[in-house]
Amino acid sequence: MIIFIAVILALGWFFGQINGGGYSGLIIAAIISFVMTFFSYYAGDKVALATSGAKEVKKTDNPYLFRMVENLCIASGIPTPKVYIISDPTINAFATGRDPNHASIAVTEGAIQKLQNEELEGVIAHELSHVKNYDIRLMTIVIVLVGIIVLIANWLFRFNFFHKNDSRENNGLGTFIIIAGIVLAILSPIFAELIKLAVSRRREYLADASAALLTRYPEGLAKALEKISTENNRPLKNANAATAHLYISNPFGKSKKMFSNFFSTHPPINERITELRKMAI
């Protein structure tokens, strides 16, 4: 988080120096940060649910799913979140919200139909662990910070190429600032994205461990992940890069691209299964 803030302030300072506005870049960065954070904090979950095409269900609509969520919430000691179903045959699920009192969990029809009771319980326990561990809040903040960095870096990059300031072009300091600004504008979004992916992957391992502790049966989640790895050959219908990190597995399905694991929002499923089965020993 400190690295994110430092990069945002650096980008804001370079932006102000290059366009001749002094510290105006820092002020602009602060305003953008506040507005985006406020919106994401209070409305980010609604955007994620709408993007995924999730529909809210009540206990009478799907008693089996609703009671499973309720029972796990009682065992975990958190309020029951709103329950949503995504009309898609792939096996997936995600949780969103800002805290346990304002949380939602969405499960695909494929998960409900294809997973056995203990397997679906493991998946839901994983998502509820994200809620209890406040991962849903953490990742919302991280995403906002990544978005701010990309936005300011884009502005900075455009100013480097299209904005001219004669008073700076005629001295070494001005040249250094311009070069540093270009380098920062190019590298900042890449570093920010890598940090976001690293945070997301770490929290997935934590949620797996927390789910095993909650259900006392790590094999259930391990088997669910095995089915996900073999049956999710196609991407989720409403898969979106902005919300991919929320799901229990990559919503884009199997990828054969080079470095796909390195740039994935999730750790390799085989590694997650191995860690879960170590817990059962």
Taking the CA of residue 136 as centre, how many other CA atoms within 13 Å lie in the half-sphere pointing to its CB? 29
Hey, how many other C-beta atoms are within 10 angstroms of the C-beta on 170? Answer: 9
Candidate list 56, 119, 121, 127, residue with the active-site label: 127
Strands (E), 27-133: 54-57, 82-86, 93-97, 103-108
* pLDDT single digits (tens) 66-101: 999 999 999 999 999 999 999 999 999 999 988 999
Distances in whole angstroms, Cα of residue 51 to Cα of each of 46, 266, 270: 8, 20, 28
Prediction pTM value:
0.79
Structure-model confidence comparison of residues 274 and 44, the more confident one: 274
CB neighbours of 170 closer than 8 A, spacing ≥ 6?
Answer: none
Distance between CA atoms of 246 and 248, rounded to whole angstroms?
Answer: 7
Task: Please tell me the predicted confidence (pLDDT) of residue 178.
Answer: 63
Q: In the annotation, is 231 catalytic?
A: no
Query: 106, exposed or middle or buried, with CB in 10 Å at 0-12, 13-18, 19+?
Result: buried
Q: Terminus-to-terminus CA distance in the chain, angstroms?
A: 36
Length of the chain: 281
* pLDDT single digits (tens) 122-146: 999 999 999 999 988 877 677 667 7
Structure-model confidence comparison of residues 189 and 21, the more confident one: 189
